[in-house]
Amino acid sequence: MKRIHSIVTGGAGFVGSHLCDFLLAQGHKVTCVDNLITGKKENIEHLRANRNFKFKKHNVIKPLPIRFAQVDYIFHLASPASPIGYMQHSIETILVNSMGSLQLLEYCRKRKTKFLFASTSEVYGSPQVHPQPETYWGHVNSFGPRSCYDESKRLGEALVYEHIHKFKVDARIIRIFNTYGPRLNENDGRVVSNLITQCLRGKPITLYGDGSQTRSFCYVSDLVAGIWAAISRENTMGEIFNLGNPQETTIRDFSKLVIELCGSVDSKINNKPLPVDDPVRRKPDISKAKRVLGWEPRIPLKEGLRQTIDWYRDRI
Ligand code: NAD
Ligand code: UDP
């Protein structure tokens, strides 16, 4: 097997650290480039002793600081990802998905490196088509609290498009739907981390709106397998893939499941207003990923949640 050297931007974050684990487990080399704006060194602490792993603290809106003998793949995952994270770091979010993407695409153009851009289901906004296929153009507010994220991901996608069509860069885009698992940052306000930690601490759980809004949750190991397929399979240049789990649930039902699995039957509900522009329904159409990549998620929500709850339980 050919040993691949990958740069994982955002490799000290939730998804990125699992991708680093996966690549190293296959015997590949990894350079994690991260400025730790929302990531944590402890997410990659266990990799420090691995000879095939390097960490470089760097903001990817600037050119990569290191000269490498060879880089085969760049996975561009760097970007705040949770509503709290990208609203707090809104300008940084716009820059990493625009300037950061441009810098990395230029690198790939000069060195013939394969590129993968981690986009998001948020490019569909609050969708009016359900489930969402890659061909759907979306229903996005360009001028609101989520715009820094949604619109900068859309701009990142346009930059990828131009580099493919003008410069023949071997690039592809994945649109990630809500993903969860161990290392999901406890403090970034996402529904999975909020509800689990509230249940484990015996605090009331925060339910935004009436809980009828839906999401579809994908376990992180499933996502990572899809990321790998999207870059390593033949005929993926220029393609976009939805990666997510199509099992859709209302947030109310999701909260009941978390309460059941945490064994916190006495948990009270703390109703809070629905955030501005919070999408009403979200569910990926993954038929393209199934057909082209031979990929589909394997871990049911209950099983993934059990593993995630165990991970938090050890830390609380
Ligand atoms: P995360 O916040 O845990 O990780 C993002 C990482 O990027 C962090 O380690 C952060 O420090 C780093 N980073 C941010 N700006 C940077 C910069 N300018 N230079 C270098 N490093 C920088 O988020 P995550 O959940 O792991 O998300 C990873 C990627 O997946 C993001 O691009 C996100 O938009 C995308 N995504 C994630 C989800 C999800 O459910 N987790 C859903 C859709 C899309
Ligand atoms: N949510 C909730 N309680 C929380 C956090 C989030 O009810 O403590 C809701 C939120 O309004 C949204 C859904 O859960 O409808 C998913 O929110 P998250 O921030 O995890 O992801 P995103 O909105 O980006 O899909």
Please report, rounded to a whole number, the percentage of residues in the chain having pLDDT higher than 70. 100
Rounded Cα distance, 243 and 118, in Å: 10
Q: What angle do CA 49, 73, 89 make, to 5 degrees?
A: 80
The overall average pLDDT reported for the chain is 96
Average pLDDT over residues 211-236: 97
| β-pair type (248-250, 214-216) | antiparallel
- The answer to whether residue 66 scores a pLDDT higher than 80 is no
Average pLDDT over residues 53-81: 94
Q: What is the pLDDT of residues 179-199, one digit of tens each?
A: 999 999 999 899 999 999 999
Domain made up of 5-180+218-246+283-298: CATH architecture: 3-Layer(aba) Sandwich (3.40)
- How high is the pLDDT of residue 69? 79
Average pLDDT over residues 23-48: 97
Least Cα distance to 154 among 167, 164, 166, 142 occurs for 142
- How high is the pLDDT of residue 24? 98
> What are the distances in angstroms from CA 109 to CA 62, 149, 201?
16, 25, 50
Average pLDDT over residues 40-56: 97
Ligand 1 neighbours (beta carbon < 6 A): 9-10, 12-16, 34-39, 59-61, 77-81, 85, 92, 96, 100, 118, 120, 176, 178-179, 185
Q: What is the pLDDT of residues 156-182, one digit of tens each?
A: 999 999 999 999 999 999 999 999 999
* Mutate-to-test residue for ligand 2 from 208, 217, 249, 268, highest number of ligand atoms within 8 A of CB: 208
Rounded Cα distance, 304 and 180, in Å: 8
Q: What is the pLDDT of residues 111-142, one digit of tens each?
A: 999 999 999 999 999 999 999 999 999 999 99
Ligand 2 neighbours (beta carbon < 6 A): 82-83, 178, 189-191, 194, 206-208, 213, 215, 251, 274-275, 278
- pLDDT tier, 2 (very low <50, low <70, confident <90, very high otherwise): confident
- Residue 101: φ, ψ to 5°: -65, -40
- How high is the pLDDT of residue 247? 97
> What are the distances in angstroms from CA 219 to CA 12, 53, 146, 187?
18, 24, 24, 19
Q: What is the pLDDT of residues 258-311, one digit of tens each?
A: 999 999 999 999 999 999 989 999 999 999 999 999 999 999 999 999 999 999
Q: What angle do CA 109, 59, 83 make, to 5 degrees?
A: 105
- How high is the pLDDT of residue 316? 87
